[in-house]
Amino acid sequence: MPNTVPNKERMKMPRQHMPEREPLQRCHSFEEVNLGFHPALVREEALRCLACAKPTCTTGCPVGVKVKDFVSLIIDGDYLGAAAKIREDNALPAITGRVCPQEDQCEGGCVMTKRVDSLAIGHLERFVADYERQTGQVGIPTNAPATGKRVAIVGSGPAGLSAAGDLVQKGHGVRVFEALHEIGGVLVYGIPEFRLPKDIVRQEVDVLRRMGVEFETNVVIGKTVTVDELLSEEGYDAIFVATGAGLPRFLGVPGENLNGVYSANEFLTRVNLMRAYRFPEFDQPVYDCRGKDVVVVGGGNTAMDSVRTALRLGARRATLVYRRGEAEMPARKEEVKHAREEGVAFEMLTNPVEMLGDEHGWLTGVRCVRMELGEPDADGRRSPVPVPGSEVVIEASVVIVAAGTGANPIVQSTTPDLKTNRRNYIEADPETLRTSKRGVFAGGDIVTGGATVILAMGAGRKAARAIDAYLSEPMW
Amino acid sequence: MFKIVDARFLGPGVKQLEIEAPRVARKQLPGQFVIVRIHEAGERIPLTIKASDAARGTITLVVQSIGKTTSLLNELGAGDTLLDVVGPLGRASEIEPYGTCVVIGGGVGTAIALPTARALHEASNRVIAILGARTRDLVILEDEVRAVTDEVFVMTDDGSAGEKGLVTDKLRELVATSKIDYVLAIGPVPMMRAVADVTRDLGIKTMVSLNSIMIDGTGMCGGCRVLIGKESKFACVDGPEFDAHDVDFKVLQQRNAMYRESEREALAHFNEHRSEEVERARGGCAHA
């Protein structure tokens, strides 16, 4: 059933809003903030799609989801068909529908943004993915006949999972190795429950398992078994290294070893992976934030996740300190909006210069300097410069540093012939993701540095294509 | 799941567990550790590996009951399982022909020092061991240490075994009377700090194994950071052994106290519900 609403009318239809939990209620709860579209809203929204001849939404998507096709299936009421259409290109639709920065990708490319609000592609994607999951009718794609080839994937984050889904469909044997005890990488240790419920990750992983992907937790490649051993003794034909950017960066200011100073990785891992918010029911503790002042340093999604988590742990005041202005923050717009609604205080153009502590080594505050934006730097972003004499002290019992990550060195340091760049990220061909070592491919944050879930998934797809080609014609 | 194939007490509250972990057993080197989690609601804790047997596919851990998780491990026996065991993590001890080595084990630290003592001995060093404990019952693994060293001294606070005194009393005696080329000290932080103080001015290379708080054990969280010289290092990937003369023991002790309140609460809760907690660990049932 084609969309009978004339294009002119479609442009007049307002973008449907995602129903959300009330800010004052949700800021004390780890339950998901966004509640999902109702079928009536979905149809209203889907009808807005202009079904462009040249769909810039698809070209804006790192994995190339066929947006207008799946939206047209939604209009037909065929939600399962729509979900299956997404799965052709995207192994984790319930996840990307929640965490993608759509405004910079599919929705950023939507032609309607020139005149009105873009189509709510992310919300539509989330709806059909949730629908198929909730109705227990996930369409498992059929795999090609077995090739007899085996691929090892190092890391079970978005890059690894995405590659696993594509490779197993091509008929290869796929085993994913994970260092932690749970599958999902940043999806389980990094992104909080209120933004991405862990049940959803578990169910998406189960889909991959049913497709034939094998998973092995508690294996640190480079320590438990090396890349060379995977290729020789364990007989893998190719390896995809997708270990992510798991090395926290601190600020390098005095006082960072005080008790109460966390990397965002540690804080979020304690709360998300280890469920510290349910201590003592779960054993791993996190600093008791109840009634305390918490400062989070950074302006990305990780900073937003940390500051909103601190609020949910009962912080009296949760403050975001960022050295540039709000316009320069790399976080998704929705996260910034949510954080503000929930009562996060924003201290923009402010940079920590020292962590202050008491005589027992416990944090008491952060000394900061105000900043102003100077000349644009190499990335074109105006770089912040300190304003002389503008120092302020912000009281805090907890500081969470979310100032980016570096390359985790374990695989590189135990694989001698794997070339790295000067920041110790793995060098890989931008098209084929081939590394300097025969049979070894690498992609995601361990190549590019910290980026987004969907870019990592894009790298996973690219790797899967290149590995499939290599397995049929093993040239290097 | 990782099955416990053998378990026995070495002393009161000190249990030795032999665990099936074939991948770890194949790769373990002296000085390395594993991270274990007992059940679905468990915390991750690091434990240094005492020994491994690649043929049997097992590793051996020695656990002193201090907090909740270590107390629970003390309750487990052969046939029980651990949900997660990952490793071997950290860098191995640096084994070289140093000459004469003194290996000091304080309490359960003896179990951790044992594999390195053996490796040093095999690398044709003369190895003298000093085992320290509060009292006789807590001197562990004396025979095993004797088997891989040239000389063993036992020091107890109350004189109930060996000589009465501290490990540093014996160390001072040894460095005054003979040429010592290398010291390894593993035990409580105050002991390691005291050892470092004895050897610092004498310029004797001294290593310590740091027991900072960890979660992932792969350098991802930074919780285990320690101050070495003026530099922050991660004990899980840069250590756990560091040059004792560069370690800021004050920061180590301070950071190790970060969760003292929570640890107390968890232990009290455990002691109150000991049988249910043990039952849950045995059943391996999820607690979600």
Residue B219: Cβ-neighbour burial (10 angstroms; 0-12, 13-18, 19+): buried
Residue B94 phi/psi, 5-degree rounding, is -85, 110
Residue with more model confidence, A141 or A458: A458
Residue A1 scores a pLDDT above 70: no
Q: Dump pLDDT digits (tens) for A168-192.
A: 999 999 999 999 999 999 999 999 9
- A192 in contact with B, Cβ within 8 Å: no
Q: Dump pLDDT digits (tens) for A86-131.
A: 988 898 999 999 999 898 999 999 999 988 999 999 999 999 999 9
State the average pLDDT over residues A24-35: 91
**Whether the Cβ atoms of residue B164 and residue B157 lie closer than 8 Å to each other:** yes
- Confidence (pLDDT) at B288: 39
- Confidence (pLDDT) at A140: 80
- Residue of A218, A225, A397 best to disrupt the B interface, most CBs of B under 10 A: A218
CA distances from A66 to A57, A90, A204, B60, B209 (A): 8, 10, 20, 54, 55
Residue A141 scores a pLDDT above 90: no
Residue B285 scores a pLDDT above 50: no
Chains A, B: CB pairs < 8 Å: 124
- A223 in contact with B, Cβ within 8 Å: yes
Q: Amino acid letter at A99?
A: V
Taking the mean position of all CA atoms in its chain, how far away is CA B231? 24
What's the complex ipTM? Answer: 0.93
Confidence class for position A246, pLDDT limits 50, 70, 90: confident
- Confidence (pLDDT) at A2: 77
Tell me the domains of chain B and their CATH numbers. 2-89+260-286 (2.40.30.10), 100-256 (3.40.50.80)
Q: Dump pLDDT digits (tens) for A398-445.
A: 999 999 999 989 999 999 999 999 999 999 999 999 999 999 999 999
* Cα–Cα dist B250/B257, whole Å: 11
State the average pLDDT over residues A2-25: 90
**Chain B nearest-CA residue for A288:** B262
Q: Dump pLDDT digits (tens) for A302-351.
A: 999 999 999 999 999 999 999 999 989 999 888 999 999 999 999 999 99
* Cα–Cα dist A454/B156, whole Å: 60
* Secondary structure element (H or E) that encloses residue A42, with its range: helix A39-46
The answer to whether the CB atoms of A224 and B87 lie below 8 A apart is yes
CA atoms within a 13 Å half-sphere pointing along the CA-CB vector of A422: 0
- Confidence (pLDDT) at A244: 92
Q: Dump pLDDT digits (tens) for B200-256.
A: 999 999 999 998 999 999 999 999 999 999 999 999 999 999 999 999 999 999 999
- Cis before residue B240, ω within 30 degrees of 0? yes
3-state DSSP of chain B: CEEEEEEEEEECCEEEEEEECHHHHHHCCCCCEEEEECCCCCCCEEEEEEEEECCCCEEEEEEECCCHHHHHHHHCCCCCEECEEEEEECCCCCCCCCCEEEEEEECCHHHHHHHHHHHHHHCCCEEEEEEEECCHHHCCCHHHHHHCCCEEEEEECCCCCCEECCHHHHHHHHHHHCCCCEEEEECCHHHHHHHHHHHHCCCCEEEEECCCCCCCCCCCCCCCEEEECCEEEEHHHHCCEEEHHHECHHHHHHHHCCCHHHHHHHHHHHHHCHHHHHHHHHHCCCCC
Torsion of CA A279, A285, A291, A297, to 10 degrees: -130
- Cis before residue B188, ω within 30 degrees of 0? no
Residue B286 scores a pLDDT above 50: no
- A126 in contact with B, Cβ within 8 Å: no
Confidence class for position A157, pLDDT limits 50, 70, 90: very high
The answer to whether the CB atoms of B219 and A259 lie below 8 A apart is no
Residue A150 scores a pLDDT above 90: yes
The answer to whether the CB atoms of B84 and A217 lie below 8 A apart is yes
**Whether the Cβ atoms of residue A420 and residue A403 lie closer than 8 Å to each other:** no
Q: Dump pLDDT digits (tens) for B129-182.
A: 999 999 999 999 999 999 999 999 999 999 999 999 999 999 999 999 999 999
**Chain A nearest-CA residue for B269:** A280
- B223 in contact with A, Cβ within 8 Å: yes
B contacts of A284 (beta carbons < 8 Å): 42-44, 215
Residue A193 scores a pLDDT above 80: yes
- Confidence (pLDDT) at A476: 85
Min Cα separation B216/chain A (Å): 7
Q: Is the pTM of this model over 0.90?
A: yes
**Whether the Cβ atoms of residue B53 and residue B254 lie closer than 8 Å to each other:** no
* Cα–Cα dist B208/A149, whole Å: 46
Residue B287 scores a pLDDT above 50: no
